[in-house]
Amino acid sequence: MVECHSRRRSQLWNPWACSLITLATTLLGFGILLIMGQSFMTRQLDSKGCQMSYMRPAFARFSDFDTEHTRFASKYSLYIYREGGIDEDIRVKGVPVLFIPGNAGSYKQVRPLAAEAAYHYHNVLQHDVGASRAGKRPLDFFSVDFNEDITAFHGQTLLDQAEYLNDAISFILSLYHTPSRSLRDSDLPDPSSVIIVGHSMGGIVARTMLTMPNYQSNSINTIITLSAPHARPPVSFDGDIVRTYKRVNDYWRHAYSQKWAIDNPLWHVTLISIAGGGLDTVVPSDYASLASLVPETHGFTVFTTSIPNVWTGMDHLAITWCDQIRKSIVRALYDVINVSRPTQTLPRAERMRGFKRWFLTGLEDVAEKTLPHKEPKTLLTLEGNSNAIISQGERLVLRSLGRSRKKPKAYLLPVPPQGTPEGRKFTLLTNEKLDAPGEHGKLEVLFCSVFPLQAGQSAMLFSMNMDLSGDSTGSTRLACKNAASDAIILPASTRHSTQPFKMDEQPFSYLQYDLEDLAEHQFVAVVDKAGEHSTGWVIAEFSAASKSVVRVNMGLQRLLTTGLSFRLPARRPMVMDIKIPALHSSLLAYNLHIGKQACDMGELFAPLLRQYITDVYESKFFVNVKDANINLHGVAPYMPPPFLAKSSGNGLSLQIWSDPTCDSTMEVSLRVDLLGSLGKLWMRYRIVFAAFPLLVVALVLRQQFRVYDETAIFMSFAEGLNECLRSSLPFSFAALTFLSISLAGARHQTSKSAQHWLFYGGNGNATDPFNYTNNELLLGSGDSFFWFLVPLFGLMCVGICVAVNYVTLGLTYLFTVIYSAVRSSSLRNDDGRRTPTAFAVTSTRQRVITTCVLLSLVSTVIPYHFAYMVLCIVQIATCVRGYTLARDSHLDANYNFYNYAHSVLILMIWILPINLPVLVVWIRNLAVHWLTPFSSHHNILSIMPFILLVETLSTGRMIPRVQSRFRLFTSLLLFSIAGYAAIYGVTYAYLLHHLANILCAWLVLIHFDVSSLSIQKLSNMLETMDPDGSIKKRP
C-alpha cells in the first residue's frame, strides 16, 4: 500500500508525465494544425498577376515644418514627391494628395502612384484642352516619414500620427497660399481640402484624423485606402488600439446615422476601400469591408480582382506598387478633381459616380447607365430594304465583321414592348472595342427611335450623321444614342486564354441593359464599320430573366454532403446567372467544374465565369474556364453586421458567358473543398491561438491547486493536463460548443428583429438601438453550422500547450545542466567550504528596495511590458534553481515548489505575446530617440502583482495550502479566466494580462496568508533580518 502511494506521488510530481490520451490529443491536434498550414500555403491560392512599376523618384523634405507647427516635428517628417525628368520643380502647382504609409511602412511607398500621376498628366491630360477646361491639373503628392512606426499594435502611436497629419494638412494648404511656393494660376481658388490615400493602417489613421480635436473642418473629403482593416483591429493585444477603433468606428456610424445632412460632419466625405483578396496574408481582406461603417451613398469596398483591366489579387505590399492598380487609382483621382472648386474635387455624388465607373465591373446593380440621361446625337439614315432587321425574339450573331466591304452595314434588333412579365434585358458581347461618336473603328452600337422630322433639320440637331441609304430615295431616319460610354470591359476568353490579367488579347466589350432603360427606344442598331474582313464577332439578344437566372435553394448541409450538379439547357441565353444564397461564408472554399460543350460551327469564345458577391464588391473572373477554385470574402467571423441592419446579400453568385450558337448543353458541378477550406481558418482565427491556450492553462492550474489544497501534493503541469483531459477540458469544450450554437441562434433572431424594427419603426437617426458588437464572442460566427470549430480549435490548442510545456521543460533541463556545472565548479574552487544551496534569500529591506526601484521605473520611464519580460527571465531562473534543488534533494517540498514555479512560468509564457507588441513599439521609439513616455502603459498596478509573485518565488518560498473556504475563490477565479479567454479572448486579448495579474495578486495574498497574519508573525519576519542586511541561505 505504501509502495503504491509512493508510486502515485512520483507520478503526480513527474514533470514529463504523458498519458495515452494526452499523446493522442497532441498528435491529433498537430495533425490538424499541419493540414491547416499545408492548405493555407498550397491550396485555393489566387494567381499573382501584378506587373512591376518603374519610376525616377525625387523627394524634397519640408524642413520648415518644425516644432512651431507640430509637437512631433522631431519624430516625423513631411516630403513632396517629384518625378525625375518630368516635373522636378518642388513648388506646388495642382491638387494636393497626401499618402499615409501603414504599419512599419515607408514614405517612399508613394513612388508608384505619384510617378504614374506625373506621367499621365504629362503624356495625356496636359495636351487635352477639354481636360484643362474641366479643371484637371497635376496631382501634388505629399508623403509622411513615420520612421516606420508600428501602428497596428499601439493605439497611442496611431493617435499621434493622426494628430501630426492634421497639422501637416494645415501646413500643406498654407503652401498654396504662399506665392513664392506655388505655381497655380492666381485666378483659381486656394485649396481647402486634401485628398488622402492610405495604405494598411494608414487608412485607419486617415479616418481617425477626422475625429481629432485639431482636425480642420472639411479639410478632407476624399479618402482611398489600400488593404486597410477598417472593421476591426488586426490584433487586440493593446487596449488603446481596441478603444481607438471603437471610438472612431462609433463616430463614423453615428455621423452617417443622422437623418439630416446638416447634422452629419462627414456628409461630404467619400471613402473607398480597396482590398487585395486572398493573397493578402498580413491583414484579412474581410476587415477591409465598409459595410458596417458607411452607407453606399458615401463609400464602398472593392477587391482588386473586380477592377477593370486589373483582374488580379494582390498581397499586402504589392497593392502599393502594382502597375495595373496604380493606373486605375490615378485615373480615378484625375476623374474626380476640379481645381475650379475650393475643395479641389467634384461634389460627392459625382465623385461616387466616378469611383464606381473606375473601380466596379459595371455589372453591379448600383452601376449607373448613362444612356437614359443622354440626348440623341447621331442621325442614322437607312436604306429601306438593304439593312437587316432581326425578327422579334431572335438573336443577332455576326461571326465575322467586314463582310460588306463597300460601306458600313447596320443590323437592327427591335426593342420588345414594355411590361413583359418575365423581366427582359438586352445583352451584347463582342471581341471588338465599341466606337464612341466620331471614332472610326470596326463596330458601333446605337439605341434608336424613329425620327419623323425633315432631313433639312438634321444638321442642326445632330452632331453625327451616319447615312447608310446610298442613293436610295426610300429611306428611314433614326435618332440614336451611342452606347460606348456604358460598355463593360471583360477579360478575353478564348481557347488560348489562361489568366484574366494577361493582356495577350483585346478585352471583350459587353453591354447590358434592363428593358426599362430602353423605354424610349425602338431599335438597337449594331453597325458593322469594318472596311475589310476581320475576326471580330458580335452576339446580341434580348433574354428573359426566367431563363437567364437560376436560383439554387439548397441548404448548406446538403450542399456539403452531396454537392451541386445541374445541366444548363442547350437553348439558353448567352449569359446565365446562378445564385446560391446558402453559400455566403468566407470559411468555406469550393471546386467548380464546367463541362466542355460541343460546338459544330466552332466556338466564338470560350466559357467565361464571374464569381461575385454583393455584400462587398468582390468579383473574380475565370477565362477559358474548365475547373476553378471558388473562395470568397463573404460573411466572416467577428465582423460587425451591415450598416443600420441593412439586409445582407444573396450569397455566392456565378455568372457564366457561353457561346449560345453551339446549341449544346453544359454541365456545371460545385463541390466543397474540405482541405482547401481548412486553410481559410488561419487568416480568420490567428488570435485564437493566443487566447484558447489560456483556457487550457487556467483549467490545469485550477486542477493543480485543487489537488494541492486537498493532498499537499502540487502535481506537475503535465500530470495536471493529463487529468484535465479526462475531466474539465472535455466538459468545457462541450459547454462552449453549446454556447456557440445558442449564440448563433440568438444572433439570428436579433438580426431578424432589428431588420423588422428598422423597416417598420426605425427612423434612421443616431438613437436607433442597433448593436454592432454581436459577433465579438467566442469564435465570432453567427452560423450554427460551424459549431465543430470550438472542439477543433480546442484540440489544436491542447496540442500546442503540450508542446510549449515540453519545450519549456527541455530548456529548463538544459539550463539546469549548465547551472549545475557552473555551481559545481564554484564549490570546488571554494574547497568545499560552502554548503550546497539553490536559493539565496535577500533581506526583506533589500527586496523592498528592489521592488520599489522597478515600480518607479515602470511609472516613469519603461512600460510595464518591459518589466514583464524581465520577470519572465527571472521566473525561468527560479525554475532552473527549483529543478536543481528538487533533483538534488528528492524532498517532497522541493518537488512541490518546482511544479508550482513551472506552472506560473507556463502562464507567464502565454501572456508574453500580449505584451511583446507594445514592447517592440517602445524599443522602436528608443531607436529613433523619441523618449516621450507612453501615457497608457505606466500603470504600476498592471505589473505590481506579477513583480511581487515572481520576487516571492525567487526566494524559494512555496505557496501555503488553503484549507478554508477561500480555496473555492481560487477555483472560481481560474475558471473565470478560462471562460473569459474562450469567450472574449480573441476580441479583447489585452485584458487577459490583467486577469492573470488579478490571479497573481490573489496568489500573493495566499503567500502572505493575510487571513492569519498577526503581530507576532510580523515580528518574527522582521527578526529574521540581519542588522547589516546580509544574505541568508535557504537550504
Instruction: Kindly list the catalytic residues.
Output: 200
Rg (CA), the chain: 35
C-alpha–C-alpha distance, residues 720 and 32, integer Å:
24
Angle at which helices 20-42 and 717-724 cross, to 10°: 90
Which residues, other chains included, contact 864 with Cβ-Cβ below 8 Å and sequence gap of 6+? 858, 915, 937, 938, 939, 940, 942, 943
C-alpha–C-alpha distance, residues 411 and 421, integer Å:
27
Torsion on CA atoms 834, 840, 843, 845, rounded to nearest 10: 140
Phi, psi of 728 (to 5 degrees): -70, -35
**Three-point CA angle 420, 426, 428, nearest 5°:** 165
- Alpha-helical (H) ranges within 862-989 are 864-889, 892-927, 944-953, 966-983
Grid coordinates given for 161:
500620427
C-alpha–C-alpha distance, residues 277 and 93, integer Å:
36
| DSSP string of 819-858, one letter each residue | HHHHHHHHHHHTTT-SPP-SEEE--HHHHHHHHHHHHHHH
Reduced 3-state DSSP string for 335-353 = HHECCCCCCCECCHHHHHH
Grid coordinates given for 945:
502583482
Taking the chain, what is the end-to-end CA distance rounded to the nearest angstrom?
Answer: 31
C-alpha–C-alpha distance, residues 824 and 458, integer Å:
110
Match 544551496 to its residue by C-alpha cell: 837
Q: Which of 44, 985, 987, 982 is nearest to 587 (CA)?
A: 44
Grid coordinates given for 962:
488553503
Can you list the pairs that 894-898 forms with residues at least 24 positions away whose Cβ atoms lie under 8 Å?
Answer: 895/13, 895/714, 896/13, 896/708, 896/712, 896/713, 896/714, 896/958, 897/714, 897/956, 897/957, 897/958, 898/15
Cβ-contact 86, 122 below 8 angstroms: yes
Cβ-contact 786, 792 below 8 angstroms: no
C-alpha–C-alpha distance, residues 497 and 506, integer Å:
11
Cβ-contact 396, 660 below 8 angstroms: no
Cβ-contact 237, 989 below 8 angstroms: yes
DSSP annotation of 961 reads P
C-alpha–C-alpha distance, residues 839 and 496, integer Å:
76
CA distances from 465 to 232, 381, 384, 721 (A): 57, 8, 17, 86
Cβ-contact 526, 445 below 8 angstroms: yes
C-alpha–C-alpha distance, residues 419 and 515, integer Å:
9
Reduced 3-state DSSP string for 243-281 = HHHHHHHHHHHHHHCCCCHHHCCCCCCEEEEEECCCCCC
Phi, psi of 271 (to 5 degrees): -130, 120
